[in-house]
Amino acid sequence: MRLLARLAPLAALLSLLVACGGAAPSAARPDPDARTPRRLYPLGEGNVWSYKIDTGTNLDSLVVMRVVRAENGHFEVSPGGGGSPSVYELRPEGLYRPGNSTWLLRTPLAVGESWPSTAGMTATVTSVDARAATGAGDYTGCVEITEEGGASGRTIRTVYCPDVGPVLIDTSMALTTSEVPVRVVARLQGFALGGE
């Protein structure tokens, strides 16, 4: 996920310091029909999510992601404060990233299913009943995707909740210069769904 590539480096995190309010907390309800890519990442134009970024350095920041274009199954999600937008296409199989010919979310979303992800990593469905506690509320009945492998040494765990979107993005990377891995956690603070 291109968002995570920007979140991993601490310098990029600090440059995305932005203030934003979100909608009132909401809890996702378990619904088997809700576990579709479209419902797990609702990409209506004007939809916005704010995330508290914990870098483990007492220098937390806030990043805002907004859908700036939603047209004919093509979507652009842009970070507040600048940066390149992430581009997605809604296809029958899921949410596709045309920029690098990989999938963000691909059906079937069942535990153990996997697909090629960015930077040579593999995305695997690791839970279809995940829970996450965030500043925007506590969520259950979510889908957890874990991306691993590739040359970067990163592991990215993302929890997507129906009709909300990504509520938790936990990125860790082993460094050759330290025995302690670098870890960056983005937790949803607020969201507003402006349209579909």
Q: How many CB atoms lie within 10 A of CB 155?
A: 17
What's the pLDDT score for residue 14?
Answer: 28
Q: What is the 3-state secondary structure (H, E, C) of 128-158?
A: EEEEEEECCEEEEEEEEEEEECCCCCEEEEE
Return the exposure string of 103-119: e unless at least 16 CB atoms fall within 10 Å of the residue's CB, then b: bbbbbebeeeeebbbbb
Specify whether the CB–CB gap between 155 and 146 falls below 8 A. Answer: yes
Q: Which residue has the higher pLDDT, 168 or 23?
A: 168
Token couple for 53? 């970024």
For residue range 87-131, what is the model confidence (pLDDT) as tens digits?
999 999 999 999 999 999 999 999 999 999 999 999 999 999 999
| pTM of the shown model | 0.81
Low-confidence winner among 76-80, 141-145, 151-155 (lowest mean pLDDT): 151-155
Domain boundaries, given as residue ranges, for the chain? 2-192
Closest Cα to residue 158, out of 126, 133, 190?
126
